[in-house]
Structure 1
Amino acid sequence: MENRSTIGKKKTGSGKRSRQAADERNNCDQGQRIAMRLLIGTIFMLAGVFAVDAANEPGIIKGSDQFEFIYRVKLPEIKGDARVWMPLAKTDAFQTVTAEEFSVPIKWEKVQDRDYGNDICVLYPQSADSGKAIELRYRVVRREKAAYSASGEDTSRYLRPEKLVPVNETFKTLALGATAGKTADLERAKALYDHVVRRMRYDKSGTGWGRGDAVYACDARTGNCSDFHAYFIALAR
């Protein structure tokens, strides 16, 4: 009897343990289901956040765009007579420019360059004008400019070497390497553009930048927009 009782107790204990194990499994399964629901909820919440962020990301604007453009200059210390040249925006086939406000508190005149017909604001500041601010404010409607044919123009003028944008073996070798396997003009131009963006970094520290010096840009691999342009043009030539 004791043995049977002991066995019975063992069976009873085993049954309790089985029920406890089953309860634990149920609790575990329930916990897993809750955790899974929380995880799925979190994923959907994050997906919503990412979707909102993606929706707020500015994309490439097609067709046309309009914006306000402000060109602002603060004059340095001036000793004696001086001259300052500032580009003036103008309407052409790809943009409509409306001058909203010209704040120029010193003597100036508008001239036009003889080669490209660009309008230029020429200022004649005196020492008393040191530190003055000049501000040109425009409203611009810009239309998308795709690749276009240069037929009818004297394209040879754009291929000639210049003092700061020479034609040499260094640029030729770099250009051939960047455009290897490309045959179409637009495809090669895109390859050169990608090469410039990968190679150069926008950095206005030190000296030598900002002159549109292609050799400097090639060696330093830094500069501002003028240096980026000069390097790209040297490669394209």
Structure 2
Amino acid sequence: MMMRWMLFIAAIALSSCSKVPERNFEFNYKVSLQANSGKNMKVWLPVPQSNEVQTISELSIDTDIPYEIKTEEQHGNTYFYANLKEGLTQTADINIHFNVKRKQRANAKFKDTDPNLYLKANRLVPIGERFDSIAKANRFSPENMKPVYDFVLSEMYYGKPKAQNPSDQYYASLPTSIKKGITKDSVVSLYLNTTKIAGEFTFGNGNSNYACDISVGNCTDFHSYFMSLARSLNVPARFHIGFSIPDGQEGKIGGYHCWADYHQNNEWHPVDISEADKAPEKAEFYFGKLDANRVEMTQGRDLILEGYSKGPVNFFVYPIVESDGQAGAYTKSFSYKEI
């Protein structure tokens, strides 16, 4: 009887030690719109959904303006859409509140997802040509995506330097010479010149060609590069975007975070290469696993949103606001609280 009891206790202890880490938290996505009386205002905001790796509950939208919830057809994302034909006579707030349950995840099956949709190129995620050449030169194989992950991790530096000044943390953290012909000063110069013309050949746009040429960027650039290589190997790869949730009971969230997954053996395998770059000791973990410290808002690239006249949306996590067809003024804030 004693032996049986000891085995029972050991089984409980083993089960407790192997429990998958999870987070349960409230999330607030708040937008304040500025008045624009007499001008047509349109507003688009992402609305998260439950899926195989996260549960969204208690979702509410608090606002005085009329709106509809729409579904983006290609990827199934849902979003808030307001079309205020007479504009706003005074400022208006929109507060999207929801609870999130998220577990640490490894590979998973996703229902109603066609992998073939994630084989074709996107506007800033091309396939073939130079990416075929990189795959051939490095002898990449579609059966083993770890060398592709390792290659992007070794080629890229995480950084968003906006000034040639040591007080810019990203500028200070980069090596003086990134690679042949590219210095951290030239990365800043490219950023300043590109933003003057509202261009996309700089960090933060998820531009695979930029990532390949310059090797400095944020999570969008790391994962676009990976997706171009994966799809060029005929391996479906998807883009996911949302927010990282800091440690602690509550607080503000500064900006978005994105990651990717690829399809192999009838399952989707996650990667977070930019986090691996920032935390090299977790590089092995982030190939095939994601921590629970995140929430996904949308997935996919080149989204078609109702009423938006400027073509496909590159990726969708921040508000999109238009006033008579031009960019509209707003402020945004994001916060979380553990529950």
Alignment of 1:1-237 (within 5 A): 62-75=20-33, 78=36, 80-125=39-84, 127-128=87-88, 132-148=92-108, 154-175=114-135, 184-192=143-151, 194-195=153-154, 198-202=156-160, 206=192, 207=195, 208=200, 210-237=204-231
**Cα deviations by residue, 1:11-70 (Å, 9 ceiling, x for unpaired):** xxxxxxxxxxxxxxxxxxxxxxxxxxxxxxxxxxxxxxxxxxxxxxxxxx9442222222
TM-score under structure 2 length normalisation = 0.42
* Amino acid in structure 2 at the alignment position of 1:70: N
Relative distance call for 1:111 and 1:213 in structure 2 (3 A) is same
**Cα deviations by residue, 1:128-158 (Å, 9 ceiling, x for unpaired):** 2675332212210012221246799542221
Relative distance call for 1:96 and 1:183 in structure 2 (3 A) is closer
SS at match of 1:68: strand
TM-score under structure 1 length normalisation = 0.57
Single out whichever of 159-168 and 88-97 deviates more from structure 2. Answer: 159-168
Whose radius of gyration is greater, 1 or 2? Answer: 1
Higher RCO (CA 8 Å, separation ≥ 6 residues)? 2
Task: Identify the structure with the greater helix proportion.
Answer: 1
* Amino acid in structure 2 at the alignment position of 1:86: L
8 Å contact 1:72–1:136 — kept in the other structure? yes
* Amino acid in structure 1 at the alignment position of 2:25: F
Single out whichever of 162-171 and 201-210 deviates more from structure 2. Answer: 201-210
Give the superposition deviation at 1:183. Answer: 7.6
SS at match of 1:190: helix
Relative distance call for 1:211 and 1:135 in structure 2 (3 A) is farther
Give the superposition deviation at 1:202. Answer: 4.0
Q: Structure 2: state its 5+ residue gaps.
A: 1-18, 163-190, 232-339
**Cα deviations by residue, 1:62-95 (Å, 9 ceiling, x for unpaired):** 4422222222334367572132221111111211
* Separation in 2, partners of 1:102, 1:152: 27
Query: What is the total number of aligned residue pairs between the two structures?
Result: 175
8 Å contact 1:106–1:124 — kept in the other structure? no
SS at match of 2:223: helix
The percent of aligned pairs where both chains have the same amino acid is: 27
Relative distance call for 1:98 and 1:188 in structure 2 (3 A) is same
Relative distance call for 1:124 and 1:187 in structure 2 (3 A) is same
8 Å contact 1:201–1:221 — kept in the other structure? no
**Cα deviations by residue, 1:193-226 (Å, 9 ceiling, x for unpaired):** 5246x33424576423554433344445455544
